[in-house]
Structure 1
Amino acid sequence: MSTLQALILGFIQGLTEFLPVSSSGHLEIGHALLGVHGHDHLLFAMVVHGATVLSTLVVFRKDILALFKGLFQFKWNEETKYVTYLLASSIPIVLLGLFFREQIENLFSGDLFFVGCMLLITASLLAFTYFSKSKGKPIGLPDALIIGIAQALAVMPGISRSGTTIATGLILGKKKDEVARFSFLMVLIPILGANFLDLISGEISSGEQVGFVPLAVGFVAAFLSGLLACSWMINIVKKGKLIYFAAYCLIVGLIAIFAA
């Protein structure tokens, strides 16, 4: 992988991880256009995902600190409840990763037709939010599980994780800013868990052909674009402008289908 390829893919990862357009789908398209085989660069994928986790921690640093302070009071307070909801939301994707990991990895084969079809599903979900109305209720345990199921379905390339979880929360009638916050915080657990499993399982080979410079460039690109996209997305959700991303996913999905 060249430094330029790492820069482009890192930028795509950081930007599309938070915008509701599917980072996995765009990376598959990027791999196809750049001639990079995703299966050959597990280390690079782990590094750029780590960068987006770091950008999330920076943007939500005050919220995360408040959660930890409340959690370590060892009381059943609002912070403990919220952490419980976050953990509950990760159950579906953890189960999927434990029992169907090989099948999931096989989906990342560079099939642009499949990615295009999944992008059309993302477009449909985002379009539904245009007609949803907030009931002003906070997220509860049942909501967390439902949003978690939506996150598990988004393992398929082309289905946006942030788009699916935010759309599900909005369709459930939850507060816009609360849905965005929950969507971005809930992804920390599965990403950190998946990266940890990759490390201890030895699947990341020291012989991978990715040098230090491309890794560093990809990390910085993903981190900076992730910072921008995360902050931007919060305002987009508050203003209810997801319909524009529905149109974008529709167009890109159709292009991917016809280009396959």
Structure 2
Amino acid sequence: MGLISTIIVAILQGITELFPVSSLGHAVVLPPLMRLKDMDIRSEAFLPLLVVLHVGTAIALMLYFWRDWLGILSAFFDRDPQRRGEQFRLLGLVIVGTIPAVIAGFLLEHYVRELFGSAFLAAFFLIVNGVLLFAVERLKQEGHNPIGALTMKDAAIIGIWQCLALIPGISRSGATIAGGLLLGLKHEAAARFSFLLATPIILGAAVLEVPKLMKSGGHVTSVALIGGVVAGVTAFIAIAILMRWMKSHEFKALDPFAYYCMGFGALSLVLLAI
């Protein structure tokens, strides 16, 4: 893949991975729409770039939420029992919220990958994603709870919501934010917890691709590294924009993303059918 194509893919990855619009759905739908034959996420040739894009996005998440991760790490050395307990509890919530997606990913990976070849299905599920975001804004609890109000059961429920993102077209951040809102979290807290859950998931996805990369004999090129940097910078900006949006729009904050997903999904179905 050339430099220009790589940069375009990296920007799309950085935006769609964090915005609740499904990066996987876009990665499946856009190649046939734009006649991008060298952008097949199932091909071995795409693996090096895929790994680097995931790493770049994960680094952006860790940098933006560095205070949270530093606090969690400092819990192992903090002598203040109350502060240590709070940070260990946050770590526990992240671990519990991550487990369902890890289990589902291992059990269903083969079946889910078969969906990667269907742009029609991905476009359809983009519409479903939009409907989900729209509905959640009208069904959610009128809560203003912080992350600290979550129980381990709540974290597991949000983790189950995250499993929906295995389907191309269903957004990982959208599903987890939706789960948090339905449990009474305020928008900012739901988004923050969603991105804390995203960090190990996205980094883990990159690590899992490394053996396949080594087996295929592929290698990370300078162009792929540039893509990783672009994806990381774009992702950092996307997180900052989304967190500011969530903080200032507690009322139907997900609606613009819902309208986009429904519109883009419907338009994609029409164009794919032509």
Q: d(CA) in 2 for partners of 1:39 and 1:49?
A: 15
Cα deviation digits, residues 96-134 of structure 1 (max 9, x gap): 12222222222211x221011111111112112332343
1:129 and 2:136 matched: yes
> One-letter code of the match for 1:25?
G
Q: What is aligned with 2:124?
A: 117
Alignment of 1:1-260 (within 5 A): 1-32=1-32, 33=34, 34-35=36-37, 36-40=39-43, 41-73=46-78, 77-109=85-117, 111-131=118-138, 132-137=140-145, 138-199=149-210, 201-205=211-215, 207-208=217-218, 212-238=221-247, 239-240=249-250, 241-260=253-272
Seq. identity, %: 31
CA drift at 1:217? 2.3
- The secondary structure found in structure 2 opposite 1:18 is coil
Deviation at 1:64, TM superposition (A): 1.1
Distance (whole Å) between structure 2 residues aligned to residue 95 and residue 14 of structure 1:
25
> 2 CA distance for matches of 1:222 and 1:46?
11
Q: What is the TM-score of this pair, normalised by structure 1? A: 0.92
Q: Which range moved further: 66-75 or 6-15?
A: 66-75
Q: What is the distance in 1 between the residues matched to 2:127 and 2:212?
A: 36
Count of aligned positions: 257
Is the Cα–Cα contact under 8 Å of residues 49 and 220 in structure 2 kept in the other structure? no
CA shift in 2, pair 1:225/1:126, >3 Å: same
Moved over 6 A (4+): none
CA RMSD of aligned residues (A): 1.9
Deviations 1:73-117 (A, max 9, x none): 4967011111111111111111112222222222211x2210111
Moved more, 55-64 or 126-135: 126-135
Task: Write the distance in 2 (CA, Å) between the matches of 1:258 and 1:152.
Answer: 28
Structure 2 counterpart SS, 1:37? coil
8 Å Cα contact 2:48/2:213 also seen in 1: no
For the structure 1 residues 119 and 204, does the alpha-carbon distance in structure 2 shift closer, same or farther, using more than 3 Å as the test? farther
Residues 20-70 of structure 1, C-alpha deviations (whole Å, 9 max, x = no match): 111111122233322222112122111101111011011111121112112
Amino acid paired to 2:259: A
Letter of the structure 2 residue corresponding to residue 39 of structure 1: R
Cα deviation for residue 175 of structure 1 reads: 2.3
Unaligned residue ranges in structure 2 (runs of 5+): none
Q: Cα distance, 1:71 vs. partner?
A: 3.9
Distance 1:77 1:211, change over 3 A: closer
- TM-score, L = length of structure 2: 0.87
Deviation for aligned residue 1:195: 2.5
Assess if the C-alpha contact under 8 Å between 1:31 and 1:38 holds in 2: no
